[in-house]
A = this chain, B = another copy of it.
Amino acid sequence: MSARRSASASGAELLLDEIREQPAAWRRLLEREEEIAELGGRLAAADPVLVRIAAHGTSDHAAAYAMYALRLLCGWTAMRDSMSLPLSYGAAAAAPGELAIGLSQSGETPDVVAWLEAARAAGATAVAVTNADEGSSLARAADGVVSLSAGPERSIAATKTYTCTLAALALLGAHAAGGERGTALAASLRETADLAESALPALEAAVLPVADVLAGTERLYSIARGLELATAAEVALKLTEVAYLCAKALTATSMAHGPVAALDRAFPVWAVAADDDTLAGVREAVRRARDAGAPVIATGPAAAALEGAAFTLPTPAAPDPLLSPLLSVLPGQLFARALALAKGIDPGAPRHLRKVTLAA
């Protein structure tokens, strides 16, 4: 840790490099499309009655994305399952005919591995999604493996492995959906990588003045609804682990159930707006946040539709709306880094952390 702490400037560069590398990492994932298509086809043939997903932290946000993406692509009901139910309480982990997906960037998160083993032993088809190789503990517990191909992630804060996990799950679901859906989504992913590459330089510049104005921030909500909830959760985590905020993700509607009470001028709201039927709820939540005096940072493809925002950081519309979360998380990753620098924190080496979370 002390070696990391002393490498402050390079830590910030490292994180920026990994944020910038994301479009290239998605393209590397596309080189493995054939493998993913083959696995998707096998899963579709098994036609799972239920998809159980287990993960922690950033990977759990990818699981939140999968809950939407797999249902919309394949009609599969997917849930973020409890690991403690089988591991601590002795409940059955799964049942035959189900699909169990374990997400772990390192491939070594002990309870995710133990959970996937238990689900497979209970008769579920087990799939590992990991940035580790086929020899990882998670891969060895699985019937099928999706390798993220994100390359080594040296920053403790996950960025490229997060968006690669989203891309991999979308590709897997699209290929399981059959027909031309898989190749169409792959083409959209390629375009999304181009869009990200074009958008990143302007976003890198745009977050700097926001970070300067909000450098005193210690509390923040990030809100969204639907497919972008994963983005809200991931942005909150980046701001927490990189810039030491207490940042809490909420559905736009839940914010109005109580948390709005805590807002004030020093308690901003990061709002992710998609250009679909969820927009009305996010607009209404933003209106209430503004009435409470909170500065609003409007992001996402429909950022411009959020009235009265203090700052607007729009992201391009993805060619396939299912891929929008790959783009809408980018300003949050960049803002977390910029805010850390504005606060004098080394964003490449968060305090008190190691890369692989050993169980509990």
Known pairs A88-B277, A351-B292; A57 contacts B254 (CB<8 A): yes
A111 partner, pick from B68, B71, B248, B253, beta carbons under 8 A: B253
Residues of A in contact with B, size category: 35 or more
CB-based contact B248/A285 at 8 Å: no
Q: How far is the CB of A15 from chain B (nearest CB, A)?
A: 13
Copies of this chain, tallied across the complex: 2
B277 in contact with A262 (CB, 8 Å): no
Flag the segment in A40-48, A183-191, A236-244, A297-305 that touches B.
A236-244
* Cβ-defined partner of A240 (8 Å) among B79, B225, B262, B277: B262
Interface centre among A85, A240, A360 (most CB of B within 10 A): A360
> A166 at interface (Cβ–Cβ under 8 A)?
no
Whether B89 lies near A276 (C-beta < 8 A) is yes
Chain A 200-242 interface mask (CB, 8 Å, partner B; 1/0): 0000000000000000001111000111000000001100111
- Apart from the given pairs A58-B258, A260-B352, A285-B360, 4 other A-B contacts in the complex at a CB distance below 8 Å: A57-B254, A71-B91, A218-B219, A218-B246
| A129-166 vs B, Cβ < 8 Å mask (1 yes, 0 no) | 00000000000000000000000000011000000000
> Could you give, for residues 62-89 of chain A, a 1 whenever the CB lies within 8 Å of some chain B CB and a 0 otherwise?
0000011001100101011010110111
Q: Which residues of B contact A8 (CB under 8 A)?
A: none
Q: Please indicate the chain B residues that have their CB under 8 angstroms from the CB of A91 in the complex.
A: 71-72, 75
